[in-house]
A and B are shown apart, each in its own frame.
Chain A
Amino acid sequence: MSATYARVAQDDTRAGGIILMIASSLAAVLVFAGLFYAMGTGARHEAALAAAGCEPSLSPSGLPCTTTAMLKNQYAAILTPDSKQLAADTAAYTANEGKNLAVAQAVLTAEVTTERAFDTSLAGITFPPAITPIAKALFQADQARANLTAQQAQSSSLTQMRSFNHRVQAASATVQTELTLLGKALGRG
């Protein structure tokens, strides 16, 4: 019995050695394959830059590339909340422009704050050279609208306030056009 157990134990131990050798060999192959694969990083990096629309040295995380996807995410992160806030402000202004000067002024002031916050955030994004002019145009158009809205908020009467509406709408249309252009440039629209 003792011999039987010893033989079984020896076989079991040998099996452990074989398992370990196989796993270890597989690991060695994978390590060498990984190192071999890593040697082609440079070429793949260049290809990836071209394929993903990367811009070197723009990454906020220190990675050597900012992809179009990353830019889109950054842009969406500022655009989405500001758009929602502006929509709410516009609705509130429309509801009050004919009846309550103080509330309408407060709404317009809030709108100016939102627009300027968007401009500041937009200026914080580093766009690739091809997109930078579009982003600048959007920035300027939004600044113009914010200035106009600020003037509108200082109106002393509801009539005077409503007289700005057409100019503000025209400025908003310009902003919308620039937004569309930037969205297209980033592949959003």
Chain B
Amino acid sequence: MRARRPAAAVGLAAALTLASVSIGLAASLGLSSAHLTTVTKSYSAPVTCTLSATADSYVNKLVATTNFGTSTVLQVNPTTLATQRTFVRFDLTTCSPAIPSDALVQSATVRLTVATLTTGTRTYELRSVTGSWTETGVTWNNQPTAASSVTASTNVSLGTAAGTVVQWTATSDVESFVTGAGTNLGWRLGDSAEGGAVGATLQLNSREAATGQPQLVVTYVA
């Protein structure tokens, strides 16, 4: 009988020891009422969609109230008196499958096809548009404002053949449009050095052209 009493005492002592260890661990971690929240987002394989322009036009300072929305070409020119700028817009909601608002845009490229380049090598800047416009209503006088920062710049060299595709990277803008941080009002293409007496006129195919219409190629993961 006496031999079994110590056994019971040992069991009790062991239980108390376990309790002490538990309390000690909790105290040492400092987590008696802590939150630890873990969220993981794993992206699927990339999806690419190619969009056609839903609106495009250009404006010309020399004919400041004329609209060119139905023209088969888009033009850019830097000269002071006849400055020309191009506007183009794509509807991201027509991407299939639809781009979710929490998608991560891996790349987005605005692709325009050269119709003719009259002379010289110029740098052309793409900027996101910050005001509303319509294809058949935009003119030099009512053209929308554009972002102060340049989305992308691309050089087009003298002798660039008609049919050559020129592209501008617009990943940042498209991600912004997708997430809702920015509003998709399209882009403006202009010469990087507007002003002066002479300058090249870059002609690009518009969406009304038979071939080489403007495209926006978007690759994203979600």
The finding on whether chains A and B are genuine partners in a shared complex, rather than unrelated, reads no
Residues of B within 8 A of A (CB): none
